[in-house]
C-alpha cells in the first residue's frame, strides 16, 4: 500500500484534529483520559461503538482472547475493545501520524498494557508465528488492492476456531472510469468488490461465512446525517478546527454521501470462522 497516496483521502489529513475536540471539552492538557472522553471523536467508522459492540458480542471477545485490528487508525475501536473486555488487543496501522496519536491516546487512557500499537502493513509485517483469536477491521480493507494476500495472511494469523470480522465498502453497480478514479483519490479505494464476490473471496481462502449483512441503507442514513450535522455546525467546526480542516472534512463527507445516495457504493458486514488449519 502506498503510504503517501493514502493521504489523498481528506479524512486522513489533519488527524490531530482530535486534540482540538479535547481542547474544546477542556481535556487537551490532561495526562489521564477516559475512553468515554474519546468515543465521540475516535470512532472513525460508521455507527460508533455500536458497531464495535456487535463485533465483541458476535465473535465472543472476552478477557482471555487475543485480537488483531487491521487498519486501526488513531486507535478508537482497539481502545474500546480493550477497555470493555480486557482482551489483549494488537492495533496495526500503516500511517505514521495516526499510529503516533493512537499510542499517545492509549497511554493517556492507561491501556498500553493490553492495547499494543504496531506501525506496519498487513501484507508484509513479520508476525514471527504469532496468532490471534479474532481479526477485526472497520472500513480499512477496501484500501488494500492485493485481496488474495490480505485474506491469506489474515487466515494464517487466526487460531483454529477463531473469527474474522469486517465492515467494509463494496460496489453496488459497475463503476465508470471517472468514478473509479475519483474513488481511488478521495476514498483511497483500491478494492471494491460486489457483495457476493466479497463473500466468495473469503470462502476461497478457507473461511466459513457465519454471518453477513448488507449495511448500505443503514450506513447511507448515518452518512447523510453526519454530513448535514457537520454543515449545520459550520461556524463551530471552523472555530474549533480552522477553515482548511473544516473544508477537508466537509469535502470528504460530501463525496461519501454522493456515492452512497447514488447507490454506486454500499457496505457489508461479515463474520467468518476458521474451522481448520
- Under a CB-based contact definition with an 8 Å cutoff, are residues 125 and 154 in contact? no
pLDDT for 15: 86
Answer whether 114's CB lies under 8 Å from 90's CB.
no
- Give the model confidence (pLDDT) of 183-239 as tens digits: 999 999 999 999 999 999 999 999 999 999 999 999 999 999 999 999 999 999 999
Q: Can you tell me whether residue 97 is helix, strand or coil?
A: helix
Name the percent of the chain lying above pLDDT 90.
92
In this structure, how many other beta carbons lie within 10 angstroms of the beta carbon of residue 4?
Answer: 6
Q: Please give the model's pTM, rounded to 2 decimal places.
A: 0.95
Does residue 254 contact residue 227 with C-beta atoms inside 8 Å? yes
Q: What does the domain layout of the chain look like in residue ranges?
A: 5-216+265-273
C-alpha cell at 20: 482540538
CB neighbour class for 73 (10 Å; exposed up to 12, middle 13-18, buried from 19)? buried
Q: In the predicted model, what is the mean pLDDT of the chain? A: 95
Is residue 6 within 8 Å of residue 128, measured between CB atoms?
A: no
| The three three-digit cell numbers of residue 268, written as one number | 457489508
Q: What is the pLDDT of residue 31?
A: 87
What ranges make up the beta strands (E) of the chain? 66-70, 88-93, 115-119, 132-138, 158-171, 208-214, 265-273
Looking at CATH, the fold of the domain delimited by 5-216+265-273 is given as Rossmann fold (3.40.50)
Banded model confidence at residue 1, pLDDT cuts 50, 70, 90:
low
Sheet strands side by side (includes 208-214): 115-119, 88-93, 66-70, 132-138, 158-171, 265-273, 208-214
CA distance 142 to 170: 8
Query: What integer pLDDT is reported at residue 82 of this predicted model?
Result: 98
Amino acid at each position: 500500500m502506498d503510504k503517501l497516496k493514502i493521504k489523498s483521502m481528506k479524512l486522513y489529513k489533519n488527524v490531530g484534529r482530535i486534540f482540538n475536540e479535547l481542547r474544546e471539552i477542556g481535556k487537551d492538557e490532561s495526562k489521564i483520559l477516559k475512553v468515554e472522553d474519546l468515543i465521540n471523536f475516535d470512532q472513525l467508522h460508521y455507527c460508533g461503538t455500536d458497531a464495535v459492540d456487535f463485533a465483541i458480542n458476535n465473535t465472543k471477545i472476552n478477557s482471555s482472547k487475543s485480537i488483531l485490528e487491521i487498519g486501526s487508525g488513531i486507535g478508537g475501536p482497539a481502545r474500546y475493545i480493550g477497555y470493555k473486555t480486557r482482551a489483549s488487543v494488537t492495533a496495526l496501522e500503516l500511517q505514521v501520524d495516526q499510529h503516533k496519536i493512537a499510542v499517545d491516546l492509549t497511554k493517556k487512557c492507561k491501556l498500553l498494557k493490553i492495547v499494543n500499537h504496531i506501525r506496519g502493513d498487513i501484507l508484509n509485517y513479520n508476525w514471527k508465528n504469532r496468532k490471534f483469536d479474532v481479526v477485526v477491521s472497520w472500513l480499512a480493507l477496501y484500501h488494500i488492492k492485493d485481496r488474495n494476500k490480505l485474506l491469506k495472511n489474515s487466515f494464517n494469523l487466526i487460531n483454529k476456531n477463531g473469527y474474522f470480522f469486517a465492515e467494509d465498502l463494496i460496489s453496488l453497480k459497475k463503476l465508470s472510469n471517472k468514478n473509479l478514479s475519483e474513488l481511488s483519490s478521495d476514498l483511497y479505494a483500491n478494492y471494491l468488490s460486489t457483495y457476493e464476490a466479497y463473500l466468495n473471496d473469503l470462502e476461497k481462502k478457507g473461511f466459513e461465512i457465519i454471518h453477513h449483512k448488507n449495511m448500505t441503507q443503514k450506513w447511507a442514513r448515518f452518512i447523510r446525517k453526519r454530513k448535514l450535522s457537520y454543515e449545520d455546525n459550520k461556524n463551530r467546526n471552523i472555530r474549533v478546527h480552522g477553515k482548511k480542516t473544516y473544508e477537508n472534512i466537509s469535502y470528504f463527507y460530501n463525496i461519501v454521501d454522493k456515492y452512497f445516495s447514488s447507490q454506486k457504493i454500499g457496505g457489508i458486514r461479515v463474520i467468518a470462522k476458521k474451522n481448520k488449519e
